[in-house]
Amino acid sequence: MKEISMCKRVEKQMLGWIAIVVATLNVVWAQERSVTVQWNQKTSLSKTTPTLQVVYNPMLKKGSPIHEGTFQALQAMGADYVRFVPWFPYPQVAVAELKAPTATETFWDFSRIDPIVKDVMEAQRGHSVVMNFSTIPVWMFKTKEKVVYPSNPDEPFWAYNQGTELRDTTLKEVADYYVRLFSWYTKGGFTDELGKFHRSGLHYDFPYWEVLNEPDLEHRMTPQYYTKIYDAVVTALKKIAPATKFVGISVAHETNPEWFEYFLNPKNHQADVPLEGVSYHFYGRPAPDKIELDYYQYSFFDQANAFLDRVRYIENIRKRLAPQTFTQINEIGNILTGHDHQESIPHEYWNLAGAMYAYLYLELTKIGIDVAGESQLVGYPTQFPDVSMMNWTNAKPNARYWVLKLVKDHFGPGDQLVTTRSTVPEVSAQGFITAKAKKLLLINQRNKPVDLKIASLPQGAMLYQVDTSTGDNPPSTMHLSATQVSLKPFSVSVVVWP
């Protein structure tokens, strides 16, 4: 009997200990799943503008089923530094002089280019554009044979950008091409190679002009050769547009420091060429053998963190060689396979890709990058569908668009960042003191819900969320009556203090 009694006492003690442990763990768990903002501890001042790029493809043409919805979405975004690129796979919309002039004739033709330029400039009225007519006419390059592009302007021709060396070693031919193209849109017209004036009647203001796109890929240029072209083009354009600021390199692979060491060194440029801006790109990709959504979340954010390390390295180069130069990271996105991807994309992917953009925007803000541009407004099967911000089946903006708009509407240059602590590793959190209110950005990097306690959150706060439940719709909104916030998978949320 004594043994039974002893066993019962031990059992009671064990149950008591277990209860204490469980209670303690619950307290710890509750403490760990929280965000604390120290509003009186300022850490840095934001100078980062969230924005996007628009790359031409036939879905942007008038008559496309998504044309109207797309340009309504661009106008509604109201972003500055929108990068516009008429792109090489569609030479008839990217190149204004498709054939070399002869002794008696020139071949300037803007009939297919003007409509898209006018649509972009109209949608961007009141907001700045970074123009990038990146495609040099292929006849200006030394090639083994004549490059023949399709007669159908909507048929993509991925082989247009041939050649690695321009035929004119003085680079005057390419510089004159860009002077005439620039003048068509800003000076009302230009005089061609034979002395004939071509009137456009257009007088747009181009505050920013980017020289070429991904020269490390599109023509396999060296930093040295690209810099010569950059200097030739900028020198010529500065004569007719002294107020325009120029952006250089726009490389696809920021992993090669030689591009930055060479281009950002003023000693490698002509004396009268200013180093005003530098740009480069980043795309997250799935791990080679991991093609399911639940793997994407790890590979995308792991690659994003590795990219951020490279950004810090590049910033050190820039600050050492050209501290006055601004930085635009103007292509940020994810690519699942390639331009010809046609498989169905799970709807959660758009939220994951949006969450990765929001995370990079936040971290680039901490680093001090000037522009964080999401890529791109329109993609669709055969045309990099995984980077689209529009749903090509219904002409509605998708979750990637709504994440950018949420970020852009709430945050920007001049915001004060403050000390913020998230005890949940997969949830990024940052408090901002903006001109209008105190705000908290929350990013759930994982495909699972998370409940968070927001310390010292007053009643009446507003919560705005883009998550897997909002789909192609604007952010959900709600008044918070408690300090608990529920984040759905891949949620990007903004809490606004009353």
- What mean pLDDT is predicted for residues 141-149? 96
pLDDT for position 292: 77
pLDDT for position 22: 39
pLDDT greater than 60 at residue 6 = no
Asked if residue 231 belongs to a domain, the reply is: yes
Residue span of the structural domain in which 232 resides: 48-413
Where does the pLDDT of residue 28 fall: very low under 50, low under 70, confident under 90, or very high at 90 and above? very low
Angle between helices 293-321 and 347-367 (to 10 degrees): 20
pLDDT for position 21: 41
Round to whole Å and give the CA distance between 272 and 231.
9
Asked if residue 25 belongs to a domain, the reply is: no
Overall number of domains in the chain: 1
pLDDT for position 12: 52
DSSP state string for 355-411: HHHHHHHHHHHHHT-SEEEEE-S--BTTB-GGG-SEETTTTEE-HHHHHHHHHHHH-
Asked if residue 19 belongs to a domain, the reply is: no
Round to whole Å and give the CA distance between 51 and 65.
24
CA-to-CA dists, residue 4 to 7, 8, 14, 16, 149, angstroms: 5, 6, 15, 18, 93
pLDDT for position 475: 98
Round to whole Å and give the CA distance between 336 and 497.
38
Find all residues with CB under 8 Å of 448, minimum gap 6, and list them: 489
- What mean pLDDT is predicted for residues 115-132? 98
pLDDT greater than 90 at residue 265 = yes
Find all residues with CB under 8 Å of 55, minimum gap 6, and list them: 85, 87, 375, 376, 377, 378
pLDDT in tens, 373-416: 999 999 999 999 999 999 999 999 999 999 999 999 999 999 99
Mean pLDDT of the chain: 93
Asked if residue 402 belongs to a domain, the reply is: yes
Prior bond to 465 cis, omega within 30?
A: no
Instruction: Calculate the dihedral angle through the C-alpha atoms of 401, 403, 408, 409, rounding to the nearest 10 degrees.
Output: 100
Where helices occur in 114-243 by DSSP H, the ranges are 114-123, 172-186, 215-218, 223-240
CA-to-CA dists, residue 96 to 86, 103, 116, 140, 232, angstroms: 11, 19, 13, 13, 19
- What mean pLDDT is predicted for residues 12-25? 46
CATH number at residue 96: 3.20.20.80
pLDDT for position 31: 45
- What mean pLDDT is predicted for residues 91-109? 98
pLDDT greater than 90 at residue 259 = yes
Q: Residue 24 corresponds to which tokens in the numbers above?
A: 């303690």
pLDDT for position 29: 43
Q: Are strands 484-487 and 450-454 parallel, antiparallel or unpaired?
A: antiparallel
Asked if residue 68 belongs to a domain, the reply is: yes
pLDDT for position 17: 53
pLDDT in tens, 352-379: 999 999 999 999 999 999 999 999 999 9
Where does the pLDDT of residue 16 fall: very low under 50, low under 70, confident under 90, or very high at 90 and above? low
Angle between helices 347-367 and 399-410 (to 10 degrees): 30
Asked if residue 362 belongs to a domain, the reply is: yes
- What mean pLDDT is predicted for residues 34-57? 98
CA distance from start to end of the chain: 66
Asked if residue 28 belongs to a domain, the reply is: no
Where does the pLDDT of residue 9 fall: very low under 50, low under 70, confident under 90, or very high at 90 and above? low
Asked if residue 481 belongs to a domain, the reply is: no
Cβ atoms of 380 and 392 closer than 8 Å? yes
